[in-house]
Structure 1
């Protein structure tokens, strides 16, 4: 049970800011390093936002929708960072308190994802067909790493290039 909770907590942490795609090969060394406190976490979220902005080729006409989406990413990242910091500093929790704390993290993640989807929908609708293909590849990997649950933004194929989404998954 504890191993399952640790694995789930890791998955939630990795997806807390949504679409945490790997930094491009041209990113500076350490760009994907674990954040050192709040400033490091915020930097990682900002790096992710900048990467996605570039990857998705956001146009000036899409900036207001993009900004709404990025603001939700920031808010979600801040919320998840605070919850994981609280979890990290909590000592001597009973099993039930530990489970309750984790349930609140999982609920915050689900709530944050709903807000993110709501912000991404109008942005995605404004995308050109090329941008939609880029987004589909950037945010999709069938089965997730190691056949596990989906982890959006981990869709890198061999050679560090984004793997094309399978044709059968076009309706997702």
Structure 2
């Protein structure tokens, strides 16, 4: 009897887990989506302010800085709009639509990043040696001041050796755009 009870309890708990995984998450409300877009834009503005201060932008560099910061804002708006559309269509999308939507977001992100690199290059080239050193450290993925682990990937069963991350600008983070 005791064994039957254990088997029954185990069966019920496993079936409950499957039922939870099969449930379709509710689509976020439009107010929640709008709040998320506004929060995203706020993070972009905070990142711009942080970089301006950290990189010690000089008055002579302001025009180049403005071009770069405006591109960050544009990227943030583009990505925010795509994620908004994705969230709003969540309940009606099938697996194929979901993959297509993700491919579209990935392509737009790549295109926007190229524009950001184009805007950053003349600014970076105008930097003093000290500014370049600060930029190199600040923009490195996984930099300790960004909560990372110094650009190293954590060891896991699929990645037995820590490898350095690429040194792409931190502004490429979806959260920073």
What residue number does 1:51 align with?
A: 50
Deviation at 1:153, TM superposition (A): 3.1
Of 97-106 and 84-93, deviating more is: 84-93
SS in 1 for 2:170: coil
- Contact (CA 8 Å) 2:37, 2:84: kept in 1 or not? no
Distance change (3 Å), C-alpha of 1:145 and 1:54: farther
Once residues 87 and 73 of structure 1 are traced to their aligned partners in structure 2, the CA distance between those partners, rounded to angstroms, is 21
> How many residues are aligned here?
120
Instruction: Please name the residue that 1:153 is paired with.
Output: 170
Rate the CA distance shift 1:36–1:53 in 2: closer, same or farther, 3 A. Answer: same
Query: Once superposed, which parts of structure 1, at least 4 consecutive aligned residues long, lie more than 6 Å away?
Result: none
Q: TM-score, normalised by structure 1?
A: 0.63
Deviation at 1:55, TM superposition (A): 0.5
Alignment of 1:83-122 (within 5 A): 83-90=82-89, 91-122=91-122
Larger Rg computed on CA atoms: 2
List runs of 5+ in structure 1 lacking aligned partners. 1-34, 155-172
Q: 1:152 to 1:120 in 2, by over 3 A?
A: closer
Gaps of 5+ in 2: 1-33, 142-149, 155-161, 172-177
The yes-or-no answer on 1:36 pairing with 2:35 is yes
Q: Distance in 2 between matches of 1:59 and 1:143?
A: 28
Q: 1:131 to 1:75 in 2, by over 3 A?
A: same
Q: CA deviation at 1:140?
A: 1.1
Question: Which residue does the alignment assign to 1:63?
Answer: 62
1:36 Cα deviation from its structure 2 partner: 3.1
Q: Name the TM-score, length of structure 2 as normaliser.
A: 0.62
Higher helix share: 2
